[in-house]
């Protein structure tokens, strides 16, 4: 069986220590006791971060208020947020060590539920505190081993993930932007389990749409240009960027190559949008926060994550860059413009 990347990292850094919550930390039935909610997160950027004062966190607070919770009275937040996170193995190890330490501190602080900003954080929380419920975000929680299935998670974690047709939606958008018979290129890195699952979802969507997918695996930034050259040689008409920290980190380089090779690009990262990508479709994390608050409420009222189905509902927020379209000498169809949440002119 193929070992999952995060699991390998956890094993390598000795992060399988289990600090099971003591009975005194179990959920209390005392209606006058404030619920202590842990937040375990990585702060990639302001849109993804669950740090206080940023949109994702503030949306969570607002949604919990709508559920009847008042911070400082009914709920107290305890956060552990890792700000240094890279893609090379040593930096990832350090980040995993820091998150594991943070998870142990949350347990020691008596939290009764942990909100995990991503699947790596959810895995760490599960291994550190297997009895504490977790609400997470993940691109593919089954591939990453966070849950057994979406319908019946089977463990201590449940959460909210992208809509079931998300990959098909992105492929249809690229097909409308760059119509033709050529394949749609796909950048892939197999070292991220969720990326593997997302590729399979994309393959199924491409098959149902009658779109050919041209996949190139890139594990190092130095191989990016060769991948673009291969895509052009094989007649690719557009490029969809897969899920991996390498592609997030190298967003600027990928956008530069897409313009040089005249390959219309769609990326899932806000860093690519900021670097001038033709289209960026980023999961709507504010929407995620609103839905996550519903799960928090259910669990605080006694529901068990093992039987709370993972919700597939998070949409993408898409941005089109007309300046990049001009550089690519592209005419953007009106239907595509109407689909955009934001247009950069």
Query: Are both 220 and 265 inside the same structural domain?
Result: yes
Query: Are both 247 and 211 inside the same structural domain?
Result: yes
Give the pLDDT score at 88. 65
Phi, psi of 212 (to 5 degrees): -85, 135
Query: Are both 252 and 290 inside the same structural domain?
Result: no
Query: Are both 59 and 190 inside the same structural domain?
Result: no
Q: The pTM is what?
A: 0.85
Query: Are both 294 and 147 inside the same structural domain?
Result: yes
Query: Are both 21 and 42 inside the same structural domain?
Result: yes
Q: Is pLDDT above 80 for 32? A: no
For residue 15, give every residue at least 6 positions away whose Cβ sits within 8 Å of its Cβ, in sequence order, or none.
Answer: 9, 96, 97, 100, 124, 127, 128
Query: Are both 37 and 90 inside the same structural domain?
Result: yes
Give me the number of domains the chain comprises.
Answer: 2
Structure tokens of 14? Answer: 């000795």
Query: Are both 196 and 185 inside the same structural domain?
Result: yes
d(CA 261, CA 274) in angstroms, rounded, equals: 19
Q: Is pLDDT above 70 for 203? A: yes
- pLDDT tens profile 322-344: 999 999 999 999 999 999 999 99
Structure tokens of 49? Answer: 């971060």
Mean pLDDT of 211-218: 97
Beta-ladder partners of 186: 215, 240
Query: Are both 157 and 107 inside the same structural domain?
Result: yes
List of long-range contacts for 149-152, beta carbons under 8 Å, 24+ apart: 150/309, 150/310, 150/312, 151/309, 151/310, 152/306, 152/307, 152/309
Query: Are both 226 and 146 inside the same structural domain?
Result: no
Query: Are both 76 and 115 inside the same structural domain?
Result: yes
Residue 22, domain CATH: 3.40.50.2300
Please state, rounded to an integer, the average pLDDT across all residues of the chain: 89
Inter-residue contact 209 to 168 (CB < 8 Å): yes
Query: Are both 16 and 105 inside the same structural domain?
Result: yes
- pLDDT tens profile 106-135: 999 999 999 999 988 999 999 999 999 999
Q: How far is residue 217 from each of residues 115, 149, 235, 236, 283, measured CA to CA in Å?
A: 32, 27, 17, 15, 23
Query: Cβ of 140: how many Cβ atoms within 10 Å?
Result: 22
Q: Is pLDDT above 50 for 15? A: no
d(CA 281, CA 315) in angstroms, rounded, equals: 9
- pLDDT tens profile 165-181: 999 999 999 999 999 99
Domain of residue 235 covers 166-283+317-344
Mean pLDDT of 33-41: 95
Give the pLDDT score at 206. 97
Query: Cβ of 167: how many Cβ atoms within 10 Å?
Result: 22
Give the pLDDT score at 92. 76
d(CA 156, CA 148) in angstroms, rounded, equals: 11
């Amino acid at each position: 069986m193929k070992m999952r990347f995060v699991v390998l990292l956890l094993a390598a850094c000795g992060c399988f220590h289990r600090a099971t919550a003591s009975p005194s930390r179990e959920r209390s039935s005392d209606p006058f006791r404030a619920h202590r909610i842990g937040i375990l997160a990585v702060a990639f950027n302001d849109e993804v971060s669950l740090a206080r004062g940023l949109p994702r966190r503030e949306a969570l607070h607002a949604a919990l208020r709508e559920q009847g919770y008042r911070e400082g009275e009914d709920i107290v937040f305890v956060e552990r947020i890792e700000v240094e996170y890279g893609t090379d193995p040593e930096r990832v190890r350090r980040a995993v060590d820091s998150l594991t330490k943070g998870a142990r501190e949350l347990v020691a602080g008596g939290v009764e539920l942990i909100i995990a900003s991503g699947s790596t954080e959810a895995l760490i929380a599960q291994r550190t505190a297997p009895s504490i419920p977790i609400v997470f975000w993940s691109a593919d929680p089954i591939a990453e081993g966070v849950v057994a299935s979406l319908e019946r998670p089977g463990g201590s974690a449940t959460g909210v993930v992208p809509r079931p047709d998300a990959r098909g939606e992105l492929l249809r958008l690229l097909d409308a932007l760059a119509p033709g018979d050529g394949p749609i290129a796909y950048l892939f890195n197999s070292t991220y389990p969720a990326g593997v699952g997302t590729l399979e979802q994309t393959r199924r969507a491409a098959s149902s749409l009658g779109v050919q997918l041209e996949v190139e695996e890139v594990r190092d930034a130095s191989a990016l240009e060769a991948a673009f050259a291969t895509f052009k040689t094989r007649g690719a008409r557009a490029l969809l960027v897969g899920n991996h920290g390498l592609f997030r980190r190298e967003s600027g380089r990928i956008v530069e190559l897409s313009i040089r090779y005249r390959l219309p690009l769609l990326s899932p990262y806000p860093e690519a949008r900021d670097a001038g990508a033709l289209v960026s479709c980023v999961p709507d994390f504010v929407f995620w926060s609103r839905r996550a608050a519903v799960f928090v409420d259910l669990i605080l009222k006694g529901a068990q994550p093992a039987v709370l189905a993972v919700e597939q509902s998070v949409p993408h927020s898409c941005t089109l860059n007309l300046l990049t379209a001009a550089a690519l000498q592209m005419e953007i169809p009106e239907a595509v413009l109407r689909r955009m949440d934001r247009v950069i002119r």
